[in-house]
Structure 1
């Protein structure tokens, strides 16, 4: 009985080990999230089971993939094609170099001759680059990307690989251009479901290093494979088996060809060190599953981390493909780590993560600023967007409000309002129209009654007012003016109407009679003179925050509206050289003035200089837009 029990246990274990990978309800493909319905799951699962039914044949394909995939991945990174498309080559040719289909499609990626030549491959009696894994993979990447320009949808680009872009356009009724989510069901084209079966079957199996590795070597001169085998000290037969594209055994010098050289772990080929270095692929961290940057890329990267994750900063002219290449990581993983698509803009200075975002941040909470999004906060702290939504019980960016406390490593506590002191937030009345300019402060109106009352007050010594009494200003008061320090022998005006209801005690002030008004000191925070631009901030938001005009900011900081503002830029919040009000004798007869435009001039600054409106300037000079040319003469008429 014990023997039977042991045999039964071994049989169960063997069956479990041999079980095919299961098709999930949801899976990622390129930058798409696919929801797989049950009817499609059953179809795809049948194909997965068929692919894995024979362990012997399955493992042969796995070993081929481990040999060739590093080369394909490198090409796809350079071309900006999502890494997931590498599984398509298993579907097309099972990675057999000289595979030929019934329709006479040839090679790794099954190109017909005219399509191959259209994509830049050489196909003739001597050379057939369809049999070259590097050249044909580059052609396949460009062909798929070309198809995607019609659809902006990688599923349709995949489908077009088999039936052509025109066929997809005729068969697809509902356009899903730019979609991030798609449903796979029984009506989905068979070729797409067949591909998904290959991805499910091989995705986990092809991880790791293969038994046979190859490196690419670009020829500089014409030579035979026989001569090359001697030069690099490898077996000639083995070299020829990996380079069937050179039909005559001759490598011509009409262009650069990637020659594959098999590598024996104990005896590396006799090639320059830079060739070996250029063939090294990124390794994977066993604990986190993150792809480590290649050695050459790691030297160039900053040693900065966010939440324990290495980061890289975008440079001028960058895109996701360039950043991934510079970091030496897989493009599809890079897009996934940063929750972006291949077509997203990458602003200069923005940092991007080189590993998976964590479930929790290193700090407890973040105070939301105007213009921030869940994505920008997620990038800043290296924490998953879905965790931010869960911690704070919110659904998206619409729930974010300036000044809101966003919890980053735990659920929002019930006493959150008491835990974090609230910050005053400027609320904007949406019914108001935004003033592009701000009115100059009006001259104060002197109240003779208040002057008389103020004159009745005793002189207050400077020492007595060195410690002003703080008064809390009600939130509904429209304006709070700064009270100048009280100087001896200076009349003290009565408090403004908006603060008459404040009953603050004032010490050491003698009152000669009951009619004298109390002295009130209002402590007002010092007005900022500069503002440091934060990510996602706009001129409009900054102007509203500091109660200044947008065009004032433009003038004070000599800004170019076409270039905009950048994070970290320091903006002045006041005119560094205020224009003094000239008091001159009135002119008996007003005449028109001709103003010559200077490099720093704007319509706003000119209008302000001559105390006219921008609209009047445009009417007087028949201008249709705000553009000014240096040296242009503008007529300014008297008012």
Structure 2
């Protein structure tokens, strides 16, 4: 055979192989998008080499090959996004972190990546959960509760951003073990660097996440759900089983179990977590109605009668731009639908977005609640009923929307300087301003209202005990169960507090037993309570003259005369000599009267300083599980400022410690 012919044949074979490989590569490129050499995340830009770009491309191809799994990821991403985005926006976390909510790959070492437990959101392992005070025990696992996990992850992101000074490092610290970050010297190389080079497969945690992000970003714009669904947080789930909730709301139990894997016990425990119900958009109003009818705690909404909603088809005909219109408290209203924002609501209502925001006491960029009816004309300056009793979780804005009264009017009527958190059971004034000499009133609402509901239907009410506290103090309420057929019209706040709501006012003699329940408005110095005789000493209680032992009588006379010298009385008291009602001790009783703790009036300058301090500072009582960092995040202040304001000497704060926080 001719050598030239042989070489020519070899060349043709080689040419066909090269062309075939190019065609196959072109086919791959058509199936999956080309990965760019630079990928932006938050405020940083990741730069890829040929090797790392190939790794991202391979991971992207694997994700797209599993069509079924990709579809499930898109379903959850679409369902959870309206819940997650407001939390990230509130915590000022970059929007790109939203791709982490259902992503759960974790790089445990340089060579291997693993998956976290099934149902865990935001790649939260137990260590991260402990750092942000998420509860993980035999009853519940807040890492698997979408809302609780999202709030915890947002705190974790903010904390790590302060630590690493870079959102890319924050991302890497969330996806990989700390040993890997130390080994690669991430904090040293990446701190405050807007361009980050990923030049080694050791960054596989970020490379795999970038591939996932590209896949979701490419598919989500063309994704169409089979059925649009909404995440509804069922607020009356405490003490119930999932099967009972499914029966009450008429939903599938399997769906409840799938999206509530955070629950490890049979019944929902007492916690901040509520059962999440996945509701089809066309059943949202129906399920919310079932939810209100099913609740057993607090006064039923059906007895309250507000807001008064009436579907109005005439309005929808006159406004041809779409939307479901209502008459809400005899005012025109429009129901918020999926993806509605103030701009779209104003467009449907035919008004400006500024007016829509003004009518509903919101901002133009606020997120709207799906299914909520918003006003499209100005609310009234006062409600149709004089009073309202605050229930669990209600805010001033909720109450203003419920009765169709302006938020500014509520503030004026109740002498609020700013919008503040409300205490359960507080009586709010809705028509007139509460007089200065009128006490702030509270109604102690029972946990279970079955008997109360039956009495409301029968028109019977139980006995009320009355007591008044002078000045701007408190009136507390307690339901008794002895007498019947009480005429409510003869009692204060009877008909005004809504159907069947009852008030009771305590006796002055019982104030000492309720000292711990009094709000901040109470001036304890005017109450007939026992006096404190020194910060570290015991309180001396004088009940009657007969109960004062003879041995202590000279001391009490000295104190009455105003003797401010330090007096120490130390005398053994035999058990037999102590009468009933006295304080019994085995050894000695010591009563010390300290000069600095005497009940003299403060100088005027000190009183002025105290008033100025109360005006500029809030007081926060440390609760179980709270840290200085968590308190600083909640009040949007720096830890160093808390340190200075409270003269702290340690980063550890004990439960019950009262901290000053600047307004």
Task: Give TM class, smaller chain.
Answer: 0.3 to 0.5
State TM-score, norm by structure 2.
0.37
State TM-score, norm by structure 1.
0.39
Larger relative contact order (C-alpha < 8 A, sep ≥ 6)? 1
The answer to which structure has the higher helix fraction is 2
* Greater C-alpha radius of gyration: 1
